[in-house]
Structure 1
Amino acid sequence: MGGHVAFLASFAVLVARVFSQTSNVTTCTPTYQWAINSKNQTPCLVAAYLESVCDGPVEVNSIPAGTHYAGPTVTNATQLCLCSTVTYSLISACGGCQNRIFTTWTDWSANCPQVEVALFLQPIPSQVEVPAWAYLDVTKTDNIFNPLLANANESDSQTTSSTPSTTLSSTVSAPSSSASVNLPSNPPISPNHKKSNAGAIAGGVVGGLVVLVAAGLAVLFCLRRRRRGPEDSGHLPSSFSTSPTPMYEEGGGRAAGPLSISPFPYYKEPSDTETYHVPGSPGTSAVHTTYDTGSVSTPAVQVLHRYTESAEL
């Protein structure tokens, strides 16, 4: 009997955890319509589901104008469900849905001894969808929720798994270093190919010998012609000139000077580098943008009790 009572009590607690996460914020202002997920859940309701994983049933209701949701207190700051940037981003969007301001991540996590940046490692209830923009790293945007960047990532995939979600914090996985590439092996050389190579080599050798022999005969002919001199000019073929330019001066025995040769014209780059101008590449300027945090400054009136309509002065 006692076992049945304990089971029923545990079951009641489980049902309470599943169905007690509520929010009276059921819509968002036109500028925050992108924050409602595909299950028509506002970020307020999604945040209530995530916080209930560590804190039991949670209600994230609307807050008065001029106030904002406060971060974890000293007593509950040990709960990682509250000290996650995912929860902070959802709560900030929840305030934006009501046209309210929101605090910075630095102020939100001031009491947290340990934080989860771009992660939510606790089990996510299957009844809720966590949008991808909630996993953006707010430490890269001046430690504050950036609704413009979140809106740009609104179309990304959403998390509905009940297991800890860590994949959305990463981007593209690096390729495995163990991947191997099969290189094609050299094809075998056929006998015909070897024969054709040998024939080509033999032909080259024979051709080279023919050229050498022809060059030798030409040199021998020139030498014989030079030794015979002008007296043998009558025996030369008619195609040759009968009065060639003498290579030796008569009687002197000295070689005559060579004929003057005009140099081929060319352009020389100026040696003085100062007169040779090389145009430089145009300068580039980096465009830096910052997110104006003036609209999210902490007001004089703050909500110390985070999810009620009352605000303490």
Structure 2
Amino acid sequence: MLNLAAPLVLSLLPYHVVAQSSVKATCGTGYSWTFNSLNQSPCDVGAALAGVCIGGDFTLSPLDPGYVYLGPDASNANSCRCSSVYYSLLAACSVCQTRNFIKWSRYKSNCTTVYSQIFLQPIPNGIAVPHYAYLDVEADDSFNITVAQAAGGPESTRLPTSTSTSSHTTATPGTKSSSGKTNVGAIAGGVVGGVVGLALIVGLIFWLLRRRAKTPSAPSSSYDPVMASQNPASLGGTSYTSSPAPKVYDPNDPATFPSGFSSPNHTGYNPYTPSPELQQQHQPMYINQMVPSHTGTTAASFPPVRPQYSGAPEL
């Protein structure tokens, strides 16, 4: 392995001259562990990642004995070349050429932002980044060949959903716009329907109120029921006068006397002068009652008479 401290080699190796060579670096035999599953060398994979940030092809030239790959200068320190993933691929490309590589701290010295164990840009189509390129280089400040050679793990490729995600993002505004139009139409239809329904309800209420106002009201129940009934004289039938209830006989009240008799004080007639039979039939049956006599000046006394049944003559 070459001595990295040789100042003459480092001072005579401008990175851009090596990178712009038209001849591609190739790996020697015995370094198959540095190749990916697509049989791509670390030199080819590293060149593909470097070309992402410049928007074109990038070529890693082969290293002559005593030469190394340097880090970026301030003018080309981008996210691709300031990534530890790209540094590990450059180191593996140097190893497979039996050449040396510089430490990580020296490589990143001109990088404003360092991307450790990550490659920020999308991986080009048809390229697979081996798993060892994502190993930590901060702890040893260098690419560890032993750990990288033993490392397995999955490779990193371009995500197959990147294109579909982009197309989905493009289609999303159209979908939202269509949804927005649908929502506006639905809202407008609902508002119009609500206004029409409200107008129908108001019209129905107005019609019912006017109809009720034109309909004559029924007689109020507060009137006297007699006022609401018809006059009996207007019925055309025969009217009858109700008879008063009979009164209890009172000798002092002529109105209670039987029909055909006048007041006891009437002169010229004495109800007690008829024959004894009439006297017994028509005389009121009162005990110890004094009946005035109109034939003399003194009142006649009569023996007490028991109450008799006046319905039928006794046999």
Where relative contact order (Cα < 8 A, 6+ residues apart) is larger, the structure is: 1
TM-score interval (norm. to shorter):
0.3 to 0.5
> TM-score w.r.t. structure 1 length?
0.43
Task: Say which one has the larger Rg.
Answer: 2
